[in-house]
Amino acid sequence: MKKATRARYTLEFKEEAVRLVNGGERISTVARNLGLAEQTLHNWVKAAGNGGLKGPATSSVSAEQMEISRLKAELSRVRMERDIPKKSCGVLREGVVVKYAFIQRHRHIWPVSAQCSVLGVSARGFRQYPDRAAAPDEAGNGRVSGMALLTHIKAIHAETRAAYGWPRVWRELRRRGIRVGKERVRRTMQDNAIRARSRRKYKATTDSDHGLPVSDNRLNRDFQPGQPDRVWTGDITYIATQEGWLYLAVVIDLFSRQVVGWALGERMTRTLVIDALTMAWFRRRPAEGLIFHSDQGSQYASADYQKTLCGYGMLGSMSRRGNCWDNAVTETLFGSLKVERLHGMRFETRRQAKDEVIDWLIFYNRHRMHSTLGYMDPMTFEEVWRRQQNTQAA
C-alpha cells in the first residue's frame, strides 16, 4: 500500500491562514476558503499562540524568538488601530450601511470588533446587516424604493471595492433577492456617479531572453477543459510599495478559474513559482498527466521548476514567445486584480500590499461573479459541478 504524502505548507502560508483567524474569521470559513482541514488550521492557530508555528524543515522557536513574535504582534495591533481610520476616511462620512459594507470587505484584515469601534457602529448591528440588506424594502411585490435601491447599490459598490459595473451589480442584487430591472440599476448608478474602476495597461514581467529549454504549447488556447485539475496555468505579476516591489505568482485551474495556489515574495525567482505550484498541488492532489501552462519566463524554464513539475507528474506547456494571448486567462486575472483592487492605492509596506492581494484572492475565489462561469464565483461553480457528477453517478 502506498503511503500517503503529508502536505507541506510554507511558513508564510501558515502565518497568513492564522492571521485571518485572529482577524475574526471562523476557522471553518478560513479552512474552506483555503482548502484546508479544519483540524490542521486549528493546530496552526494553537502553535502560533505558543510561538511554535514552523515551516517545513525548520527548527523550534527559541524564547527570544517568541518574545520578538510577541512584540511584532503588539506592533501589528498598534498599526491596525492607526490604519483603520486611514483606509476608511471616505466611509466615515457615509451612512451605517456603507460602513457595514466596509467592515464586511475588510473582515479578513482587521477584527470586526475593532472596525466597529473605530467606525462608531455596533457589532450586533453588523451581524444583522446581511439579513437586512437582502430584504425588500416594500411589502407586497418586493419592489424597492429609489432610496433603498441606491443604498443597496452603494453597499455592493463598497463591498466589492468598485469592482462591479452595472451588469454585475444587477446580478448581485438579484442573487440577494432584490427584484429590480437592469435599466433601473444602470440609470441609478449613472445618476449618482457610481461606476466601476477604469482600466489601465500594465507592463509585462516575462523574461524570455534566456537559453533554457522551453516546452511545446500543449494548451494551444484551449481554455475550457471538461473537468477540474486537468489544466492549470501560472504567471507572475508585481505590486509597487514604498519598501520595494512585491511579486505575486499564481496557479489557476482553468475549469473553474479558481486560484488554487499562490505565493508572494520580495524577489521574482524560481522559488516563488515553485512555492505557488507546491501550494496548489498539496491543496488539490491532481492525478498525473495534468498540463501546466505558463509563459517562457526563466523562472518557469529553470531546471528546478521543471524538476518539480516532473515530480508531480505534470506536463509542461509554454506560450509562444511574446504572445500573451496564449496565457490570456492568467493575464485577465492580473488585470482584474489591479483594476478592481490595487489601482490608485499606495502601499507603505509590503505587508499592506499582501493584505490587499490575499483579501482580493479570497474574494475572487469565493464571491466574485465570473462571466465565463455563468456569473457564478469559481468555488461555487466547481461545487455545483461536483454535486451534478455525484447525482449522475448515484
Q: SS3 sequence, the chain?
A: CCCCCCCCCCHHHHHHHHHHHHCCCCHHHHHHHHCCCHHHHHHHHHHHHCCCCCCCCCCCCCHHHHHHHHHHHHHHHHHHHHHHHHHCCCHHHCCHHHHHHHHHHCCCCCCHHHHHHHHCCCHHHHHHHHHHHHCCCCCCCCECCHHHHHHHHHHHHHHCCCCCCHHHHHHHHHHCCCECCHHHHHHHHHHCCCCCCCCCCCCCCCCCCCCCCCCCCCCCCCCCCCCCCCEEEEEEEEEEECCEEEEEEEEEECCCCEEEEEEEECCCCHHHHHHHHHHHHHHHCCCCCCEEEECCCHHHHCHHHHHHHHHCCCEEEECCCCCHHHHHHHHHHHHHHHHHHHCCCCCCCHHHHHHHHHHHHHHHHHCCCEHHHCCECHHHHHHHHHHHHHHHHC
Residue 73: per-residue pLDDT: 54
Of the candidates 295, 299, 291, the residue with the CA atom closest to the CA atom of residue 320: 295
Predicted local confidence at residue 203, as pLDDT: 47
- pLDDT score, position 27: 83
Query: Quick one: pLDDT at residue 140?
Result: 44
Q: How far apart are CA 252 and CA 224, in angstroms?
A: 12
What is the rounded distance in angstroms from the CA atom of residue 123 to the CA atom of residue 133?
Answer: 16
Amino acid at 32: R
Distance (Å, whole) CA 249 – CA 268:
9
Angle of CA points 214, 215, 216, to nearest 5°: 125
What is the pLDDT at residue 348? Answer: 92
Query: What pLDDT does residue 1 have?
Result: 46
| CA-based nearest residue to 243, from 119, 91, 353 | 353
Sort 392 into a burial class: Cβ within 10 Å, 0-12 / 13-18 / 19+. exposed
Q: Specify the pLDDT at position 244.
A: 92
Give the model's pLDDT for residue 174. Answer: 84
pLDDT for position 164? 84
Burial class from Cβ neighbours inside 10 Å (0-12, 13-18, 19+) for residue 283 reads middle
Q: What is the pLDDT of residue 202?
A: 46
Q: Interior CA angle at 284 toward 283 and 289, to 5°? A: 140
Quote the pLDDT of residue 81. 58
Grid coordinates of 246: 512585491
Query: In the chain, which residues fall in CATH 3.30.420.10?
Result: 231-387
Round to the nearest angstrom and report the end-to-end CA distance of the chain.
28
Residue 231 in grid coordinates: 489544466
- Helices 270-284/303-311 angle, 10° precision: 10
pTM to 2 decimal places: 0.63
Q: What is the pLDDT of residue 109?
A: 64
Give the CA dihedral 297, 299, 304, 308, nearest 10 degrees.
Answer: -80
CATH tag, 231-387: 3.30.420.10
Cα–Cα distance for residue pair 16/19, rounded to 1 Å: 5
Regions in the chain scoring below 70 on pLDDT = 1-8, 23-25, 33, 55-95, 97, 105-110, 128-143, 198-212, 322
What is the C-alpha to C-alpha distance for residues 39 and 17, in angstroms, rounded to an integer? 13
Reading the block at residue 174, the C-alpha cell is 438579484
Q: Give Cβ neighbours of residue 88 (< 8 Å, ≥ 6 apart).
A: 99, 102, 115, 118, 119
